[in-house]
């Protein structure tokens, strides 16, 4: 059983801002129902670029629900400029921490927020750059390198905890280890 903080439990058992936001003018989706977790984030942004409302719909575990709920609470009232600076660690910290095996849930929140902001700005997010390493979760080598660099990851287990890469069939674990080895050697 995972060791969840009281705040994670609260946001899971009594999530805030659940459901589709009918007058949303920005939407960001991430994850995949076929692979496990999925999140759809709805934002209502006013003319001055401030997030006046945020809701979510998610499919996933307690950490996914809690992270999504926390994200909406964090960003309500923020300007888009400030919201763009939100990291997955900010979401985890707001909840008093997440089990390392569940950090990918906060990453999913950060990704959905980036996509919603891009949607509001009318920016088309192109296909992911890089080579797909984990086919189960559509994770590229560049995403893995970024997670290693930003979070000091040193093992394939840590990469799986942050991105889910390697958490499906496991065929990519050897390639993930190679990427880690190269990234660590370059630092």
Of residues 74, 87, 88, 5, the one with CA closest to residue 43: 74
Say whether 39 sits in a helix, a strand or coil: strand
DSSP tag of 46: -
Alpha helices per DSSP H over 2-87 = 6-13, 62-75, 80-83
Instruction: Respond yes or no: is residue 134 known to be catalytic.
Output: no
Report d(CA 114, CA 27) in Å as an integer: 10
Q: Which of these is catalytic: 105, 134, 136, 172?
A: 105
Sequential DSSP letters for 132-166? EEETTTTEEHHHHHHHHHHHT--SHHHHHHHH-TT
105 is catalytic: yes
Q: Residue 75's closest CA among 42, 104, 102, 101?
A: 42
Retrieve residue 89's tokens.
Answer: 């660690």
Supply the residues annotated as catalytic.
35, 105
């Amino acid at each position: 059983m995972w060791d969840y903080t009281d705040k994670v439990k609260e946001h899971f058992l009594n999530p805030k801002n659940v459901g589709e936001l009918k007058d949303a003018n920005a939407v960001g989706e991430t994850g995949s129902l076929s692979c496990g977790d999925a999140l759809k984030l709805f934002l209502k942004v006013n003319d001055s670029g401030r997030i006046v409302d945020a809701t979510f719909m998610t499919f996933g575990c307690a950490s996914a629900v809690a992270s999504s709920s926390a994200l909406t609470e964090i960003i309500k009232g923020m300007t888009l400029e400030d919201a763009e600076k939100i990291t997955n660690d900010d979401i985890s910290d707001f909840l008093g921490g997440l089990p390392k095996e569940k950090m990918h849930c906060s990453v999913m929140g950060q990704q959905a927020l980036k996509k919603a902001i891009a949607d509001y700005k009318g920016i088309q997010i192109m296909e992911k750059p890089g080579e797909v390493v984990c086919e189960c979760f559509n994770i590229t080598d560049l995403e893995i390198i970024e997670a290693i660099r930003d979070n000091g990851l040193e093992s394939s287990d840590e990469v799986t905890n942050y991105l889910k890469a390697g958490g499906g069939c496991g065929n990519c674990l050897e390639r993930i280890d190679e990427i880690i080895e190269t990234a660590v050697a370059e630092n």
